Structure 1
Amino acid sequence: MKTYFTFLERNKLFTFVNVAGLSISLMFVLLIANMVTRQLTVEKDQRDADRIFVFANGNHGTAHYLIGEKLQSRYPEVEDWCSYTSGAISYTLIEEKPVNIRLLISRKNFFQFFSYKLIEGNPEQVLLSNTSIVLTRSCANMLFGGQPALGKTLRFPNINDQTFTVTGIMEDFNNSIIPDNIQAIIPYENAEYLNPSVSIRDNNMSNASSAMVFIRCPQGVDPNVKADDIRAYLKEIWWFGGKPVRFIPFRDFYFATDLECNIPMEQYDLTMVWIVLTAGVLILLMAVFNYISMSVAQTSYRAKEMATRRLLGSSRSDIFWRMIAESALLTFVAFVIGFLLAKAAEPIAMDLLQVKLDLVGDLSAGTLLIYIVFVLLLSYLSGFIPATILSNYNPLDVVKGTFRRKTKTIYLRTLNIVQNGLTIAMLTCALFLSVQIYRILHEPLGYTYGNILALTPAAENETLLAFRNEALKLPFVKRVCFTQGTPRDGGNNNTMNVPVQGSLKSMSFQCFIADSSFIDMFGIQITQDRKLTNDDGAWLVSENAMKDMPGITDYVPNERKGRTGFYISGTFKDFHIRRAMDAQRPLRIQIRDVENVHPWEILIETNDGDLADYQRRLNTLYESFVKDIPYKSRWYHNQMRDQYKDLFRMNKLIGVFTGAAFLISLLGLTAMSIYFIAQRKRDMAIRKVFGSSSLEEQKRLMSFSLHSIGISLLVAIPLAIVGVRSINNIIEYENSFPWWVPIASILIVSLISLVSVYLISRKATRENPVENLKTE
């Protein structure tokens, strides 16, 4: 290997390009491999995962807690069931200071139904009492430090001021459909204190999407066989029944992103997994192509060494395997550097991909074996072509000086064409997604808003009203609104069975209850106002909702059992709720006196100016009223941007992949240009002797590069079409395809390629032709 190290030292560009290209690509590959592996092995430790199913009703992945009980009482196929709702944030007092805890609220058989690991406590008893609480390891450490937590008590003022006893400690949730920020579990009997509509005692099952419902069946039993019968049964007993029923295998639920799930659960788009995986494979292939390109480019410089070895008795196989060993050494070094880079980039990758990664934590004997096999295969793949070229040549070609001219550029040109095609396709996808995001962010929403600060309620209404009065005295405050729901979050859902033209029509209204400042704050256009009040049970109704109820003018009846209708106090122009690409729904607004609104958010509209200072002053004022109780303070425009954070992350991700593709492609172009120039120095010298200029020779080289880019479109166009369609499937926003995007991608790649070739070939085309002819 001494001669190889000497070669690397003398050819620093070769060494840098290959190590840098492989290391960067392996960084991506390691991160993506960890991401894909974790996504495809979610809940891998659940012992009964193949017998557990998630109940789905229509396009809803959630139901009411009691649905599990109803199904088990009627269908013997249901061996057991469990239900939980998650995401509730409550605070407990530690040394009289409030500390937020994110709760999972579950049926008491949680640890018997699932196999999540308990560190302390008996699975059959930890949730036996209504005031039991099980903490995760990290939560127990946060609350009690290193002291034993079992038997300690926690008081939750906002859960009926109940005191809970710690009866168990469990491992943190990891690689699960349950978010890893869940810190504690309490029995479902406490749910009614946080949200009365999800109560176990509500036999009408009013909140139809308040809980996840799981059933467990005997081995080999598929509950979907009874789906039609279950659908008919639920239609009889449940106001929300009658929709198509399906039971999704436990692990498959993670990728069932087509379902609406009102409970914070971990899910991921399988299409995104394949996109990321494909991008990682392509980047790796581009880096391998670079290694092959650079190695082939350097074959003429190593030919004398290998000729000497052949003349001294080395066989073709000796030369071949020597080159493979050299490839393995360089690949191993690049792998180590790539692993260190991947570990350093892990936090950034987790933010971009929105998944948890743990390269070191996931290391095992099996993982190390896979890494070793991967490095060996990569070494063989990377070194095969240059090893084949150098082991199959005739040593006499080297002695006569004809080897360099006999070695063709077909390998390099083909690889460079593929690289350019991949780069153009990825740049097209990146530009297309950027255009779509711009269109979405500038889509008319049907309402307007200015500088609105949103505060979460952290006290009783009387205290909040006192804060409101003081806030209105500040010179920069325009309005203060108490509201239950905003256009951003869609408010609350109320589904009614409305008799329309002789038949019942299901109307799923999104409802907002607020004081009168809500209308002006969001620029909602009232088209008819009948001056009815909420005392009359009256609501403003959107114009499209009125169109969906022909014949109804004053009162909207509701044929749902136990429910009443409402009077129409007027109409308003429709506006978009949630995101611009989400489906529009019928809307209702009820205006109440501010004293009668129990707000989900307090909205404060300010004048233009120093928003950071306004927020600081309002927060200070708010804290003087709510004391130490935790709350959130965010500007509405930032909340709106959060609605599209998955798109921004995807755009960043594709941008990162495209940047890596550009870099690796540029390195590959460098390899091809160096080799191409080395092959044609003699030809250029002869042409210059007969009158050709340096500029003409440079144009000839750049024309060759431009021709290669033209051929690369055969690779780029099909890949770009697939990529654009995949992006459209993910963001579900239909709009015309911008014709200029692929043209811009081609021009950008062409420009960069031409500039690179110009800079690389500049010296070679200006050399004295005598210097290249005297060696012949």
Structure 2
Amino acid sequence: MFRQLNFRSFFNFLGRNRLYAFINIFGLSVSLMFVILIADYTLRQLTCDDYHAKAGRIYAIGTEASLNSGYYLQKYLRDRYPEIESTCAVAASGQSTDATQPVEAGQRKYSATVLFADTTFFRMFDFELLEGDRDQALASRENVVLSESFARKVFGTFNPLGQAIRFPDEEKSYVVSGVVRDIDRSVIPNTDIIMRAERLCDLNPANDERMSNCGAVTTFLLVHPGADLTAKIPDMLAYFKQMYWPYKGNVVSGVTLTPLRELYFSRLNDVYSLHHGSWAFVMILFGVGAVILLFAVMNYINLTVAQTGFRAKEMAARRLLGASRGEIVLKLILESTLMCVTSLIIAFFLAVAVQPYASQLVESKIDILADMTPVVVACYVVFIAALGVVAGIVPAMMVSRYKPVDIVRGTFRRRSKMVYSKVLITIQNVITIVLIATSLTIGLQIRHLISAPLGYETKDILDVSTEIFSDYGQIQQFRNELLQQPCVEAVALGCGSPHSRGNNNTMQWGPDRMVSFQVFVGDSTYFRIFGLELLRDNHTDKGWALNQYALHELGIGEDATHFKMGPDYSWNFEIAGVYRDFQVGSALDEPTSAMLLDVGDYDRWNKTGNYQTYPWDVLIKVRGDKTEAYNTVKSVFERISDGGVFSGAQYLEQEIAADYADQRRILHIVGIFTLVAILISALGLVAMSTYYIQQKEQEVAVRKVFGSTRAEVLGRLVGSFMRMVGAALVIAVPVAWYLLGRWLQDYSVRISLSPLIFLVAGAFAAAVAFLAVFWQSSRAADSNPVDSIKS
């Protein structure tokens, strides 16, 4: 048995067949590189928050629709349920985890992300505190904890403990009380600054004990060991219906308790405060990674089967010298495993080299070396051994089944008809066509979503958040100086935009129903640059305008002048006008009711104090080159703020395009895998055509002697491969049509599947196959038949 471990003959064979060796090692190495990257990404995704000692006792409370709750909800829960050991409310700054706030430290200004958390944060979660005391880090409302990377950015190697930072909109300073290692593998986002959650109440009075703002935070509950809080869900629901307005008004109707370890992939998790993962995206990665690996294994099997005629005599000699069929099978499987091990080593170095780019692509950290535990190594060993068996078993069984006497007589090659190879090449082309059609469909769907009519203008509008300003006076100065710039056409002040959804106001409508309005406030320029169409003007300075959908939801006509709200319909609202429906949010969002208020001159209206002290957004309509305009706006801000950090500014078109980041990410990944699959498939076809034509040399020579033209010979050689592509197209079209049709059903705004998509995919696959086999076929057609017959 041990004599089969001698690989000298295998190395000699590889040396004589360098194309075979290169294609197999290249294909396997590239495929295994993706396997390593995907495996590490998946491992990190599936083990989010596993490292917290109390993870099994931590839950996030939510409704049937989301995980957001009012800030003071935790107080009511602690008072009522003894099963709860402690609670912790968490919220990220702004409307997403990427929102930033201006921060001053020393004489310099920075832009930072902020996480609001209760004093229990570091006692509930085991994030590593590099500096400071876990129990005291957030003990004072004036304490802040910095992330390791932000502390290094601001203070360098200097110890930041005790240093002061401040926010421009506040007079008081905050003291650095700790430094936490950058948060990783958690639903809690990694932010620059962690500070007390009570500041949310200072920033927004609606975060009061009445919980007027019911979506301020995510509330985590730590239950006592052995306690079953989930058994209290029915009681919680009954309790909430008595004291929590979303339940009293039937806006929501369920209570959920999601375990921390399940939170990352929970359908309830959103981007407001927490990081979240997509199980569908992980499955897509698994799928395309498996496809690439399958292509490489197919190539190995194809090429090895094609090469069996060249190795048959060696195996016959071994059989004649006493080797059993089982030993022959074992030898070929060991050779396959050696090839896989070699490819895995190469793949490991490739994966480490490209891991920064892969991290950017999947928008999540990948760290192969740091995650290489003994368990992971053992999994790789088992995987590569299994892969070696799978890749080597078919060629081994084919070679070992022939009798030595058949091989010595030369009948083996006459019996080899490439049945396995034809089937596998057809399967490769089926998958290639499906991948190409998928890439085309996703690209067309994204383009369709971005260009979908929204009912308002989006072109050349720069959205600048007012969070970068210290007061309304700065906003006024900023607007006035911008209006003097040639690249600025208009400047509007408002509270949100149709894309950012403005603000939400959910009101009681009758005894058992609530109506949710998205609220938009802006000056006259705001409504002009967005081109919002006023269908009816009731010529009143009082009340709010509504969109058509709101009228429909309230059951009133466009000629109505009032509508009533409240539990007993006693709240009377005057209708200032009616606007044509426009898209609120992205094209993926459902229609919603909207309330709109045109304040005319924001400076004059702002003095009344009826609504708020200053707007949320400065919306700038630019002309000319948008990059130059952006730089001009930035320089004006930096001059006004004396070197402040200009952040949070984007063109509306960019914000809309960002809505489809997940779809773009899938497109990029599928596109990359499609190109790799095409490359591996093309290399396999080149090699297969080489060995196939070698077997057909004498047949070609005979045909040419009997008068076949070059075109006829070439057509016969190339045609055999093109027929495989044709068969693949017949199989691939219904498969792709079904899968892509199912995918498109998730979009309310979607393209129609055109036959042209599949024709283009098939034509591209055919072109690749034709180019891959044409060169060798052309050489065979041009060869001298006398030389082939002699050989």
Which TM class, normalised by the smaller chain length?
over 0.9
Match of 2:359 among 335, 339, 350: 350
**Corresponding residue pairs, total:** 762
2:404 maps to 1:433: no
Pair 113,561 (structure 1): closer, same or farther in 2 beyond 3 Å: farther
* CA contact 1:127–1:167 (8 Å) conserved in 2: yes
Tell me how far 1:699 sits from its aligned partner: 2.2
Equivalence for 1:282: 291
SS at match of 1:93: strand
2:67 maps to 1:43: no
Equivalence for 1:170: 180
Equivalence for 2:610: none
The normalised TM-score by structure 1 is 0.92
Pair 719,239 (structure 1): closer, same or farther in 2 beyond 3 Å: same
Tell me how far 1:418 sits from its aligned partner: 1.4
Equivalence for 2:754: 738
Tell me how far 1:757 sits from its aligned partner: 2.6
* CA contact 1:290–1:671 (8 Å) conserved in 2: no
Once residues 362 and 464 of structure 1 are traced to their aligned partners in structure 2, the CA distance between those partners, rounded to angstroms, is 48
Match of 2:721 among 688, 705, 708: 705
Match of 2:386 among 366, 377, 381: 377
Equivalence for 1:580: 587
Match of 2:486 among 453, 475, 478: 475
- Report percent identity of matched pairs: 32
* CA contact 2:693–2:776 (8 Å) conserved in 1: no
SS at match of 1:339: helix
Could you give the per-residue CA deviations for residues 447-486 of structure 1, whole angstroms, max 9, x where no partner exists? 1233122223323211221222222122332211111101
Equivalence for 1:24: 30
* Aligned partner letter, 1:488: H
Structure 1 range deviating more: 426-435 or 662-671: 662-671
Once residues 106 and 8 of structure 1 are traced to their aligned partners in structure 2, the CA distance between those partners, rounded to angstroms, is 62
Equivalence for 2:451: 442
Pair 157,275 (structure 1): closer, same or farther in 2 beyond 3 Å: closer
* CA contact 2:138–2:177 (8 Å) conserved in 1: yes
2:534 maps to 1:526: yes
Show structure 2 runs of 5+ residues with no match. 1-6, 95-99, 607-612
2:260 maps to 1:253: no
Alignment of 1:332-731 (within 5 A): 332-457=341-466, 458-499=469-510, 505-533=513-541, 536=542, 538-551=543-556, 553-559=560-566, 566-592=573-599, 593-595=601-603, 596=606, 598-607=614-623, 609-632=624-647, 633-713=649-729, 716-717=732-733, 719-721=735-737, 723-725=739-741, 727-728=743-744
* Aligned partner letter, 1:51: R
SS at match of 2:484: coil
Once residues 703 and 221 of structure 1 are traced to their aligned partners in structure 2, the CA distance between those partners, rounded to angstroms, is 71
Structure 1 range deviating more: 725-734 or 323-332: 725-734
Tell me how far 1:584 sits from its aligned partner: 1.4
Alignment of 1:223-234 (within 5 A): 223-234=229-240
* CA contact 1:496–1:560 (8 Å) conserved in 2: no
Equivalence for 1:191: 200
**What is the RMSD of the two structures over their aligned residues, measured on CA atoms?**
2.6
Pair 260,739 (structure 1): closer, same or farther in 2 beyond 3 Å: farther
2:159 maps to 1:148: yes
Tell me how far 1:287 sits from its aligned partner: 0.5
Tell me how far 1:515 sits from its aligned partner: 0.9
Pair 726,87 (structure 1): closer, same or farther in 2 beyond 3 Å: farther
Pair 31,671 (structure 1): closer, same or farther in 2 beyond 3 Å: same
Once residues 392 and 677 of structure 1 are traced to their aligned partners in structure 2, the CA distance between those partners, rounded to angstroms, is 25
Pair 157,755 (structure 1): closer, same or farther in 2 beyond 3 Å: closer
The normalised TM-score by structure 2 is 0.91
Tell me how far 1:616 sits from its aligned partner: 2.0
Pair 87,9 (structure 1): closer, same or farther in 2 beyond 3 Å: farther
* Aligned partner letter, 1:770: V
Tell me how far 1:565 sits from its aligned partner: 5.9
Tell me how far 1:490 sits from its aligned partner: 0.9
* Aligned partner letter, 1:462: G
Once residues 612 and 91 of structure 1 are traced to their aligned partners in structure 2, the CA distance between those partners, rounded to angstroms, is 23
* CA contact 1:155–1:164 (8 Å) conserved in 2: yes
Structure 1 range deviating more: 482-491 or 692-701: 692-701
Pair 622,141 (structure 1): closer, same or farther in 2 beyond 3 Å: closer
Equivalence for 2:97: none
Once residues 784 and 722 of structure 2 are traced to their aligned partners in structure 1, the CA distance between those partners, rounded to angstroms, is 26
SS at match of 1:462: helix
Tell me how far 1:706 sits from its aligned partner: 3.1
* CA contact 1:92–1:98 (8 Å) conserved in 2: yes
2:276 maps to 1:270: no
Could you give the per-residue CA deviations for residues 379-403 of structure 1, whole angstroms, max 9, x where no partner exists? 2222222233334433333433332
SS at match of 2:596: strand
* CA contact 1:155–1:161 (8 Å) conserved in 2: no
Tell me how far 1:708 sits from its aligned partner: 2.2
Equivalence for 1:52: 58
Tell me how far 1:262 sits from its aligned partner: 5.8
Pair 470,99 (structure 1): closer, same or farther in 2 beyond 3 Å: closer
* Aligned partner letter, 1:512: F
Pair 734,394 (structure 1): closer, same or farther in 2 beyond 3 Å: same
Pair 726,80 (structure 1): closer, same or farther in 2 beyond 3 Å: farther
* CA contact 1:454–1:603 (8 Å) conserved in 2: yes
